[in-house]
Amino acid sequence: MDSYAFQIVLCGALVAVNCSLLGSFLILRGQALVADAISHSVLPGIVAAFLFSGARAGGPLLVGAGAVGLLTTLGIEFLHRRAKVQSDAAIGITFTALFALGVVLVTALAGQVDLDQDCVLYGELAYVPLDPWLTANGWDLGPRAAWTSGFCLVVLLVVIGLFFKQLYLTSFDPAYAASLGLATGVWHYVLMGLTSLVTVASFEAVGAILVVALMVAPPATAFQLTRRFRAMLGLAAAVGVLTAVGGYVLAAALDASVAGAMAVVAGALFVAAWAWGKWRTALAGA
C-alpha cells in the first residue's frame, strides 16, 4: 500500500471510528435521526465560519458548526415541546430549513468562497492527502484531516471514559437517572455537542450526507452481534475500521468515490451481521 492509499485509509478509519463510538450511544437513545439532522444543519455554520475567518479547519469552524448544532437541538425541542409539533416533524422542519440555508449560502457565495458544494455534501477522501499540515519550517505532518479526526477521537475517548456511567444510565433509563439527581438535560446536550464536533471533523472527508451512514450502520452492526455494551463499542469501532479499508478497496477497484464506497460497505456489513445473527439463532433453536 503506497503512502497516499495509507493516508486515505487512515483518515477514513479515524472518521469511521469517531462516528461509530458516538453513534453507539445515539442509536440506543433513539436519537440517530437527531444526529442526521445535526450533520446536515451544521452546513450554514460551516459556511458562515468560513466566510468570516477563511478557515476550512480549526477553531472558528468548530465554533460556528457547534453553535448551529446546538441551535438545531434547541429548535427541535422547541417545536416539539412548545409548538406541539410531532417529534419527527420537528426534526424534519428544523434541519431541512437550516440545511437549505447552507445550500443557499454555498451557491450564492460560490464565486467568493473556496468551498465546493459537492465537497461539502459528499466529501472526498481521495483529496485528503492533498491538504497536508505543514509546519512553519516546512515539515509535512501528514493530512490535516487526520489530525482533526485524531483530535476529535481523543476528545470522544476522554468524555466517554470520564462520564461513562452518566451517558450509560441516561441512555438506558432517563427517568431513573433523574430520580438519582443526574442532570439528564446536560448529558443530552453533551452528546449533541459531540455530534456537532464529530460531524465537523468528518464533513471534509465524507460529507454532510454520508456521515450519518457511518454514525448508524457500524453501531447497528455491532448491536446485531452482542448485547454487552462495552463489547458493542469495541465492535462498532472495529466495524468502522473495516468499513474504511473495505470502502477504499471497493473505490479503488471501481474508480468511485471513497466516501460513497465506505457507506455501501457499511450497509453490506450490517446486512451480513444481521444474517449471521439470524443463522446463529436458527442453529441454536435447531
Partner 1 sequence: MNIRVEQPAVEVHDLTVSYQNRPILWGVDLTLPQGALVGIMGPNGAGKSTLLKSMMGLLPLSSGYIHLFGQPLAQVRARVSYVPQRESVDWDFPASVLDVVLMGRYGKLGLFSRPRQSDRDIAHDCIRKVGLENLAHRQIAQLSGGQQQRVFLARALAQKADLYLMDEPFAGVDATTEAAIVDLVRELKQQGKTVVMVHHDLQSASRYFDWLLLLNQRLVASGPTHQVFVPEHLQEAYGGKLTLLAQMGELMKQGNYPAREK
Q: Which residues bind partner 1 (CB under 8 A)?
A: 28, 162-166, 168-169, 171-173, 175-182, 223, 226-229, 231-232
Q: Which is nearer to partner 1, 89 or 186 (CB)?
A: 186
CA distances from 164 to 103, 130, 168, 187 (A): 37, 37, 6, 11
Q: How far is the CB of 219 from partner 1 (least distance, A)?
A: 10
Where in 72-210 does DSSP place strands (E)? 132-134, 140-143
Distance in Å, CB of 92 to partner 1, minimum: 22
* Nearer Cβ to partner 1 (28/103): 28
CB of 230 to partner 1, least distance (A): 9
Nearest residue to 39 via CA among 93, 95, 104? 95
Indicate the residue among 93 and 182 with the shorter CB distance to partner 1: 182
C-alpha cell at 12: 477514513
Min separation Cβ 283 and partner 1, Å: 17
Least CB distance to partner 1 at residue 270 (A):
16
Q: How far is the CB of 228 from partner 1 (least distance, A)?
A: 6
The nearer residue to partner 1, 159 or 198, going by C-beta atoms, is: 159
Residue number with CB closer to partner 1 (26 or 68): 26
Nearer to partner 1, 162 or 275 (CB): 162
| Angle at alpha carbon of residue 39, lines to 132 and 116, rounded to 5° | 50
Side-chain half-sphere of 86: how many Cα atoms within 13 Å? 3
How many Å from the N-terminal Cα to the C-terminal Cα in the chain?
45
Residues 6+ apart with CB under 8 A from 86: 80
What cell does 281 get?
A: 439463532
Q: Which is nearer to partner 1, 111 or 181 (CB)?
A: 181
Name the maximum alpha-carbon separation found in the chain.
67
| Shortest reach from residue 187's CB to partner 1, in Å | 12
Q: Are 149 and 201 in contact (CB under 8 A)?
A: yes
- Neighbouring residues of 191: CB distance < 8 A, sequence distance ≥ 6: 22, 25, 26, 29, 31, 167
Cell 426534526 sits on residue: 91
